[in-house]
Amino acid sequence: MAFYDKLFSALGLSEWCGTSDDKAPLSLADLAAQAGVSLPIFTGPCLCLGHGVPLMANKRARPEDIITKLRQVEVLMGQGMARLDAIRQIGVVEQTYYRWRKQYGGMGVDQLKELKRLQKENDRLRKAVSDLTLDKLILKEAAKGNF
C-alpha cells in the first residue's frame, strides 16, 4: 500500500486518501474525480491488483479468437450498438479492431485454417529453395577450383 501513498502524495492527493462518508474505501477513480484529475481509460483486457489500478495484459490473441471477436462486433452493431461501444465491449482498442478487420475481415474459421496451412507450406518451400540455392553456389565454387 506504500506505493499508492507515494503515488497520491506525488499527485497531491494525499488529503483524498481514506474513506468516503459511508466509510467504504474510495477507489482510485473516485479519488481522481474528487481531485479533478482525469485518469486514462483502459479499454483492453486488464489485470487488477486488488486496489482498482488496472495493468494492461500483454497477451496476443489467437486468430480463431480474433475472428470470433470480429463476429461479436458485427452482431452487436446489428443489434443497434454503436461501433465504438461494440469494439470496447470485446476488450480491444479501435486501432486493433481495424487492423484485425483488415487482416481477417470476412474470413471464416475454415478459411483461416487453410491460410495457416498455406503459410506453413510456403515457409517450407522458401527454406527448400534457399537451401538448394546455397548448394548450387557451393557446387559452382567447387567446380571453379576456388576452394
Prediction pTM value: 0.46
**Rounded to whole angstroms, how far apart are CA atoms 103 and 97?**
10
Q: Determine the residue type at 63.
A: P
**Rounded to whole angstroms, how far apart are CA atoms 121 and 124?**
5
pLDDT, residue 71, reads 92
pLDDT digit string (tens) for 70-122?
999 999 999 999 999 999 999 999 999 999 999 888 888 888 889 889 999 99
pLDDT, residue 45, reads 52
What mean pLDDT is predicted for residues 123-137? 95
Is 51 within 8 Å of 4 (Cβ atoms)?
yes
Answer whether residue 124 shows pLDDT above 80: yes
Lowest-confidence segment of 55-69, 79-93, 99-113, 129-143 by average pLDDT: 55-69
Query: Where are the strands (E) in 86-127, listed by range?
Result: none
**Rounded to whole angstroms, how far apart are CA atoms 34 and 50?**
21
pLDDT, residue 144, reads 87
Is 11 within 8 Å of 37 (Cβ atoms)?
yes
Q: What is the DSSP string of 95-133?
A: HHHHHHHHHHTT--HHHHHHHHHHHHHHHHHHHHHHHHH
**Rounded to whole angstroms, how far apart are CA atoms 89 and 30?**
22
Which of 34-38, 52-56, 111-115 is most confident? Answer: 111-115
What mean pLDDT is predicted for residues 49-74? 74
Query: Which cell numbers hold the place of 8?
Result: 497520491
**Rounded to whole angstroms, how far apart are CA atoms 75 and 80?**
9
- Check residue 15 and report its DSSP letter: G
Burial of 31 from C-beta contacts in 10 A (0-12 / 13-18 / 19+): buried
Domain boundaries, the chain: 2-56, 63-104
